[in-house]
Amino acid sequence: MKLLIKSGRLIDPAGAVDQVMDILIENGKFKEIAKSIKKVSGCSVIDAKELIVAPGFIDMHTHLREPGQENKESIASGSQAAARGGFTSIACMANTEPVNDNRSVTEFIIARARQVGLVNIFPIAAVSKGQLGENLVEMADLVEGGAVAFSDDGHCVMKADLIRKALEYAKMLDVPIIEHPEDHSISAEGQVNEGFISYKYGLRGILKAAEEVIVARDLILQERIRSRLHLTHISTAGSVELIRNARKMKTPVSADATPHHLLLNEELILSYNPVYKVKPPLRTEADRLELIRGLQDGTIDCIASDHAPHTRDDKDKEFEFAPFGVIGMETSFSVVYDRLVRSKLLTLNRLVELFSTNPARVLGLKNRGRVKPGYPADLTMLNLKKRFKIEEKDFRSKANNCPFLGWEGQGAIEHTIVSGNVVYSRKNRV
Amino acid sequence: MKERIFSQDHLLGIEQLSVDDIETILETAEAFIEVSSREVKKVPALKGKTVVNLFFENSTRTRSSFEIAAKRLSADLINFNSSISSLKKGEALKDTVLTLEAMNPHIIVIRHSASGSPHYLTTFARSSIINAGDGFHEHPTQALLDALTIQQRLKTLRGLKIAIIGDILHSRVARSNIILHQKMGNEIALIGPPSLVPREFEKMGASVYYDIRSGVKAADVVMMLRVQEERGARNYFPSIREYRNRFAINREIFALAKKSAILMHPGPINRDVEIETSMADSEQSVILQQVTNGIAVRMAVLYLLKGEIHETLN
Amino acid sequence: MDEKIKAKIMDDKKMKRTFLRLAMEILERNREEENLVLIGIQTRGVHVARRIQQLIKELESIEIPLGILDITMFRDDLHKHEQQPAVKKTRIDFSIEDRDIILIDDVVFTGRTIRAAMDSIFELGRPASLQLAAFIDRGHREMPICPDFKGKYLPTSRRERVKVMLQEIDGQDQVLIMEPKGF
C-alpha cells in the first residue's frame, strides 16, 4: 500500500515546514517527504497542487454519545462527521451512559472505534466516579486501558480538594486533567451570559465569574502541583487574562476555545432559538475579541469544537427546557478559516498549530500532529479557494444543532487521510 | 373613513410594538370600556372565532380576564390548563400546540414559565399568539392596561416619572412597563435591593435607586411589584421583614411623590408586605381600576389581532 | 384610491335649508318630543345629529338627548378585512328603553351600516320606535331599509362616492360626488 501526495503546500509547524512538497506514504506511515518523489509502480497518487497539506487535525473535545445515547450520535456517525470535518483524530468526553469512569467503557469505545475504522478515537475518562465529583476514578487502570486524559466535562470538579488530588495523581501518570471551569453554585440554573441581555430578555444568567473563579482556583493549585492542566472551552476575557498571567509565571497550563465562542456573541439569543444555547454561554463581543487575542498571542493553544449533538426534538423546545450544546466537527475548519484567517486575524500556520500541532501535544498523542517519516500518516488537505455553504443536508452527524447553518464562505476540507487511507474526499463523497 | 392599521400578527411583547401600535390598542380599549358598562355586555365582533387560553402557570386573574374579554366579543373560548411538570415529563409544548391547532383556533393566549415560549410558538403555529406572561420576560397586556389606567387618571402618557419598586429582576410586568414607558419617553425609576435591581437595567433607559425615598420623589406613578417569599429563600434578600422596612410603600413615602400621583399594583397584593394595607384602599390607589381596564385592553388586543390563520413561517 | 370631484351637489346655503327641513320633519312626525332621542352613527352621522339637535333647540327650546353609536363591532364584513377597522367610542348616556329613536347618518347606501346599527341598538335595550334620518340617500340598497327622513335623494353610480363635508370636520359645508381618477 503506497500513496504519493504530489505538489501540495505542506504546512507543518512542528517541523517548521511551509513549502511545496511530495509526501510518500507506505503501510500507513510517512515514508518520505521531499521536494520531488518519483512515482513508483503500484502507488496511488493524489495531485495536491493548489492544496494545503497539514498534519491531521485533532479535535480534542467532542461528545460521541455512545454508549447510551445513540439516538443523538454514535461512534460511527461521529467518526463520519469527524472525517468530513478534516479531523483524523478526536478525543471524546466521558459523559456517556454509563459514564466512562472505568476501563470497560474505555475499552468498549476503543473497540467500537476500531470496528468503524475511520478516524482515531481517544477516550477521555471521567475524573470522578459517575462524574459525581466525590471519588477519583482508577486513573492508572484507565490509562492502561487507553484513556488519554481525564475530565468531568459537562460538570466542573467543584471540590477544590478533589481537583488538587486529581492533578497530583495525574502528574504521576503524565496525563492531562481537562477542567470544565464552571462554579455551579454561581451558574445554577443559568441559561445565558448574565448581563444586560439576560436581564432584558428575562433569562437566568451565568456570570462570567462562574468560569473565572474556577480558572483562578485551578491555576493557584497548579502553581504548586505543576501537573498537566488543560482548561477547556474558555469563554471570557477574564479567563484569558488569568491564563496569560499564569503563563508569565511559568505555571504549566493549556487551554482551548471553541469556534462558536470565537465567532458568535450573546446577542444571538434574542431570537430565543435554542440552537444558540451552549455552555459556557455565548458571551459579549468584548470577550469574543479577547479570545481571538488569546489565540494570537499563544495564551490559548487549541481550537476544539465541543461537538455536542442533540436530537431535533431535544432542541425543538422552549429555550429554558432545551439542552445546552452545539455540534461543530464538520464546520470548525471552514468557519474559523473563513472568518479568522481570511480576515488576517490568524495566519494559516497558526491555524494548523491550533488544530493539529497543539492538541497532539496537550493530549500527549505520540507521533501525531507532525509530518515525519515513521509517524502515522494522518493528513488533512485543505482547498482554500473552494466556497462552502453550511447546510443540514450535508451533515454526517446525526444532529443538526449547528449555529453556523446557512453560513457561506471560503475554505473547505478536500481530503482527510488517516494512516494512509483516504477517509473523506470532498469530490468523491468517500 | 381612514381605517387604522395595526402592524402585528402576534402580541409577543411591548418590544415589538411601535408607539402607534400602543396608541391604537389604547384607543380601541377606550372604545371597549363602554361595552363592559352595558347591561348586555356582548358584541359580535369575534363571532365564529376560537380563542385558546393555554396556561402553564396558575393565574386565575389573567386567565379569567382573557376569558371574559373573549366572551364579550362573542368568541368561543377553550381553557387548556397544564402544568410545567407535565411538560418537563416530556409532553412537548409543540405537540400540545399542534394538537390544539388541529381544532383550528384563531388565537392562542399563552402563559408559560419559560421566557420566549410565545416566540417559540410563532415558529410553527398558525394562530395569532398572545403572550399572557412568559417567564421573567414580558407581560404585555399588563403594561398596556397599566398605561390605559395611567392615561385615564393623569390624562396623558407622556412627560411622566414612573417609579417601579420591587423585584425587577424576576418581573415580567416590570420589563413590559419599562419598555413601554421608554418608548413613550417617560422617566423611569427602578427601586429595590441590588440583587433584584442590577445596575445594567440603566441600559434600558431607566435610573436605578437603592433608596426608596429618592426613587419615589416627584413620581407621577408609583408601581409596586409583588414580593415573593421564594426570593427570600434564595437569598435575594435576607427576610421579608427587612425587605418591608426598606422597600414597602407607606403614606409617608408616598407623600414624596407628586400630589396627583397614583399607586398601582399588578396584583395579587401582599398586604402589609410591599404595600401598607390602608394605602391599597386609598384614593390614590387604582388597583381595581387596573383590573377593569384589563378586560378592555384584552378585548382590544383580541379584536385587533383577530387571528386570521397565518401561513407558518417555515 | 385616487378620486376627483365629479360634481358639487350642495353648498352651505342649500345644506342649511336641508338641515332645517329635516329638523322640522322630525318634530312634525313625533308629537311626543320629550320621548325623542337622537343617535348619530360614528363619525359623520354624529355631526349631522348634532346639527339637528341644535336646530330643534332653536326651534322649540328643548334639548333632545344625543347618543353616539359606533357600529364597527356589528359590521357584517369583519372577517373579510386584512386589518381590523378601528373601533370608535359608543356613548349613549341615557336609557333607550321605550324611547323613540331617530338614528342619524350622513349617507345611506347599501343599508348594511344601518343593519349593524339596528343590531347594536337592540343590544342596548328595547326602544318604542326606531326611525332613520339620512342627509343623503344615494340608492343601491342591499337591505330592506328605507330612511324615514332624507335630506336629498341623489342617484349615483356604484363607483362614485358621495362626500358630505361638514364645517366641524372639513372646515366647510358642501356635498360632492367623487369618482375614481381615470374615468
Q: How confident is the model at residue A41 (pLDDT cuts 50, 70, 90)?
A: confident
Partner-chain contact B3 C86, CB within 8 Å:
yes
Give the list of residues 6+ apart from residue A339 with CB closer than 8 angstroms, or none: A263, A409
Measure the CA–CA gap between B140 and B17, rounded to whole angstroms: 10
Whole-angstrom Cα Rg for chain A: 21
Query: CA torsion angle for B288, B292, B295, B300 (degrees, to 10)?
Result: -120
- Please, what is the average pLDDT of chain A? 97
Q: Is B32 on the interface with C (CB under 8 A)?
A: yes
Distances (CA, A) of C44 to A198, B250, C122, C124, C150: 51, 50, 22, 22, 15
Alpha-carbon span C133 to C36, nearest angstrom:
13
Interface touch B34/C43, C-beta < 8 Å: no
Of B109, B129, B1, B12, residue with least CA distance to B55: B109
pLDDT tens digits for B205-259? 999 999 999 999 999 999 999 887 776 667 888 888 898 999 999 999 999 999 9
CA distance B270 to chain C (A): 36
Q: What is the DSSP letter of B234?
A: T
pLDDT value, residue B204: 92
Other CB atoms within 10 A of residue A408 CB: 12
CB contact under 8 A, B204 and A317: no
Q: At C130, list the grid cell.
A: 326606531
Interval A240-279: pLDDT, tens: 999 999 999 999 999 999 999 999 999 999 999 999 999 9
Which stretches does DSSP call E strand in chain C?
A: 3-10, 36-41, 66-69, 100-108, 129-137, 149-153, 161-165, 174-180
ipTM exceeding 0.85, yes/no: yes
Instruction: Name the one residue in this structure whose C-alpha cell is 346599527.
Output: C117
Q: What is the spatial distance between Cα A150 and Cα A93, in angstroms, rounded to a whole number?
A: 9
Span C137-162, pLDDT tens digits: 999 999 999 999 999 999 999 999 99
Alpha-helical regions (H) of A226-357: 237-248, 259-263, 285-297, 312-315, 332-336, 348-352
Q: Per-residue pLDDT tens for A274-305?
A: 999 999 999 999 999 999 999 999 999 999 99
Q: Which three cell numbers stand for residue A396?
A: 454526517
Nearest CA in chain B to A205: B169
- Cβ of A272 within 8 Å of Cβ of B120? The answer is yes
Determine the pLDDT at residue C82: 67
Q: Which three cell numbers stand for residue A288?
A: 469574543
Burial of A90 (0-12, 13-18, 19+ CB in 10 A): buried
User: Which residues, 6+ apart, have CB-to-CB distance to A419 below 8 Å?
Assistant: A28, A29, A376, A377, A378
Contacts for A112 with CB less than 8 Å, ≥ 6 apart: A66, A75, A76
Cβ distance B116 to A200 less than 8 Å, yes or no, reads no
Looking at every residue in chain C, the average pLDDT score rounds to 93
Which candidate, A315, A182, A165, places its Cα nearest to that of A225?
A: A165
Domain ranges of chain A: 2-53+375-388+408-425, 56-363
Q: Is pLDDT above 80 for B311?
A: no
Q: What is the pLDDT of residue A85?
A: 98
Torsion of CA B107, B298, B77, B96, to 10 degrees: 50
At the second CATH level, the architecture of B140-291 is: 3-Layer(aba) Sandwich (3.40)
In sequence order, which residues have a C-beta less than 8 Å from that of residue A360 and are 6 or more positions away? A55, A58, A89, A368, A369, A370
User: C35: which 3 cell numbers?
Assistant: 320621548
Please give the tally of structural domains in chain C.
1
Q: Domain for residue C115, yes or no?
A: yes
pLDDT for residue B312: 43
Of residues B227 and A159, which shows the higher confidence score?
A159
**Own/partner pairs for B83-92, CB < 8 Å, 24+ apart?**
B83/B56, B84/B56, B84/B57, B84/B112, B84/B113, B84/B114, B87/A318, B87/A321, B87/B56, B88/A321, B92/A313, B92/A316, B92/A317
In this structure, what DSSP letter does residue B203 have? G
* B 250-309: CB under 8 A from C: 300, 303-304, 306
Is B270 an interface residue toward A (CB < 8 Å)?
Answer: no
Residue B72, burial from CB neighbour count under 10 angstroms (0-12, 13-18, 19+): buried
Of chain A, the percentage scoring pLDDT greater than 70 comes to 100
What is the pLDDT, as a whole number, of residue B59?
Answer: 85
**Which of A39-48, C13-22, C34-43 is predicted with the least confidence, judged by mean pLDDT?**
A39-48
pLDDT in tens, B2-59: 444 688 899 999 999 999 999 999 999 999 998 888 888 889 999 889 999 999 988 8
Give the pLDDT confidence score for residue B87 in this predicted structure: 65
Closest-CA residue in chain C for B40?
A: C123
The rounded distance, in Å, linking the Cα atoms of B230 and B11 is 30
Contact B121, B111 (CB under 8 A): no
**Rounded Cα distance, A146 and A141, in Å:** 9
Does a structural domain hold residue C28?
yes
What is the per-residue pLDDT for B314? 36
Which residue among the candidates A306, A314, A338, A378 is catalytic per the annotation? A306
**Whole-number pLDDT of residue B4:** 46
Per-residue pLDDT for B155 more than 50? yes
Contact between chains at C74 and B30 (C-beta distance less than 8 A): no
**Average pLDDT of the segment spanning B88-114:** 87
Omega before A67 within 30 of 0, i.e. cis? yes
Nearest alpha carbon to residue C135 among C40, C37, C69, C65 = C40
CATH 3.40.50.1370 fits B14-139+292-305, yes or no: yes
Say if residue A153's pLDDT is above 50: yes
Q: What tens digit of pLDDT does each residue of B105-125 get?
A: 999 999 999 999 999 999 999
| Nearest-CB residue to A318 (from B117, B136, B201) | B117
Paired residues of B224 in beta bridges? B165
Residues β-bridged to residue A256: A302
Mode of pairing for the β-strands spanning A421-425 and A408-418: antiparallel
Q: What is the pLDDT of residue A289?
A: 98
pLDDT, residue C181, reads 86
Cα–Cα distance, A122 to C134 (Å, whole number): 89
Q: Positive or negative, the Cα torsion across B87, B90, B91, B97?
A: positive
For range A211-228, the mean pLDDT: 98
Residue type, A33: I
Which numeric CATH code is attached to A2-53+375-388+408-425? 2.30.40.10
| C-beta separation of A373 from A32 below 8 A | yes
- Phi/psi at B202 (5° precision): -65, -25
* Helix pair angle (A208-225, A160-173), 10° resolution: 50
pLDDT tens readout for residues A163-176? 999 999 999 999 99
Return all residues near B30 (Cβ < 8 A) that are at least 6 apart: B148, B296, C89
pLDDT tens for C1-28 read 688 999 999 999 999 999 999 999 999 9
What's the Rg (C-alpha) of chain C? 16
Name the residue of chain B whose CA is nearest to C42's CA.
B1
User: What pLDDT score was predicted for residue B272?
Assistant: 82
Contacts B306 to C, Cβ<8 Å: 78, 84
pLDDT at residue B278 greater than cutoff 90: no
Other CB atoms within 10 Å distance of the CB of residue B50: 19
Q: What is the pLDDT of residues A169-204, one digit of tens each?
A: 999 999 999 999 999 999 999 999 999 999 999 999
Q: What was the pLDDT predicted at A1?
A: 80
Say what the pTM is.
0.89
Q: Residue C16 belongs to what domain range?
A: 3-73+96-180
- Which H/E stretch holds residue C124? helix C112-124
Q: What CATH number is given to the structural domain containing C17?
A: 3.40.50.2020
Q: Is the pLDDT of residue B90 over 90?
A: no
For the question of residue A306 being annotated catalytic, the response is: yes
Write the CB contacts of A285 (distance below 8 Å, at least 6 apart in sequence).
Answer: A265, A267
> Residue B309: its pLDDT value, please?
56
Q: How far is CA A96 from CA A63, A93, A102, B166, in A?
A: 8, 8, 12, 44
- R_g of chain B computed on alpha carbons: 19
Average pLDDT value over all residues in chain B: 90
Q: Does A202 contact B135 at a Cβ distance shorter than 8 Å?
A: yes
- Tell me which CATH homologous superfamily contains domain A56-363: Metal-dependent hydrolases (3.20.20.140)
Q: From the list C70, C79, C85, which residue is nearest B3 (CB)? A: C85
Termini Cα distance of chain C: 13
Residues in B touching A208 (Cβ below 8 Å): none
* Chosen from A272, A315, A392 to mutate, greatest number of chain B CBs within 10 A: A272
Which of A106 and B92 is assigned the larger pLDDT?
Answer: A106
**Partners of residue A178 on adjacent β-strands:** A151, A230
**B38-52, B287-301, C71-85: range with highest mean pLDDT:** B287-301
